[in-house]
Amino acid sequence: MVGPSEDDVLVVGKITGCYGVKGWVKIHSYTEPRENFLRFGKWMLQRRGAAEPIEFDDGRVQGKGLVAHIAGVDDRTQAEAYSGLEVAVSADSLPALEEGDYYWSQLQGLQVWCRDVSGAGGSEERVLLGTVDYLIETGANDVLVVKPSTDS
């Protein structure tokens, strides 16, 4: 069976370390709100450029992050092997959005254009600024980081 392609998966969090001694791990969730991470149900680990299934059989909010138990992993030593790995889900498992709303992943790679009306006689010209490289959450605003265009 062929696994999902890289375009079909979306990274939703990262295992940042161990929690306790019974196979629990700390998870930094990229979802908003963070506990949405626990609602997906079919997770995949991003390891060596490939996606492999992983099952969390329990999880909860813990402080400013999440903790979850990896099914079949019942001691800290086993759990340490997962530290630093990203967790993804199939893109088609994301909930549908209302019209005009977008997931960050849908914005990455889009072209950013500017309207320049400083031309002669007030004519309008469109200028390609670049493409959306990634986004940053600053607290006050979300920021689009644009990679400059190499086109003239």
pLDDT digits 0-9 by tens, 8-29: 788 899 999 999 999 999 999 9
Give Dmax (Cα) for the chain: 73
Amino acid, res. 85: L
99 pLDDT higher than 50:
yes
> What percent of the chain has pLDDT above 90?
51
Q: pLDDT value at position 2?
A: 36
Q: pLDDT value at position 84?
A: 96
33 pLDDT higher than 70:
yes
- CB atoms near residue 98 (< 10 Å): 5
Q: Is 98 helix (H, G, I), strand (E, B) or coil?
A: coil
> What percent of the chain has pLDDT above 70?
90
| The model's pTM | 0.71
Match 């977008």 to its residue by tokens: 102
